[in-house]
């Protein structure tokens, strides 16, 4: 997930293992050059990058390893479902 505004790019890497996790987890967050590196690594690994500025602004303050807040389950679930559908088409 990325945000590219006039100030700084923001990127959030999310992960979810249904056999291990109760909810999706924050894998990495970054602004500016770190965000660009997160996005480049995702693209290199052929992981879809989804732009959701509002959600990125909220999640960028979370620590890697934390589960996403319960109030964001629906929004993140929709993104993950979209990514899974994209990956299944490929």
- What pLDDT, in 10s, does the model give residues 45-84? 988 899 999 999 999 999 999 999 999 999 999 998 898 8
The pLDDT assigned to 37 comes to 96
pLDDT above 80 (res 4): no
Among 42, 41, 70, residue whose Cα is nearest residue 58: 70
Q: The whole model's pTM is what?
A: 0.82
Architecture per CATH, 2-89: 3-Layer(aba) Sandwich (3.40)
Count of other CB atoms within 10 angstroms of residue 88? 7
CA-angle at 73, arms to 42 and 27, nearest 5°: 30
pLDDT above 80 (res 7): no
Rounded-to-integer distance, Cα 47 and Cα 40, Å: 10
Rounded-to-integer distance, Cα 5 and Cα 23, Å: 28
Fill in the DSSP letter of residue 67. Answer: B
């Amino acid at each position: 997930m990325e945000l590219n505004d006039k100030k700084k790019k923001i990127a959030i890497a999310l992960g979810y293992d249904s056999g291990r996790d109760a909810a999706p987890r924050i894998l990495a967050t970054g602004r500016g050059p770190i965000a660009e590196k997160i996005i480049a690594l995702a693209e290199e690994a052929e992981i879809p990058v989804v732009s959701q500025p509002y959600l990125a602004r909220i999640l960028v303050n979370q620590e890697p390893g934390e589960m996403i807040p319960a109030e964001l389950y629906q929004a993140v679930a929709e993104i993950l479902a979209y990514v899974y559908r994209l990956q299944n088409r490929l």
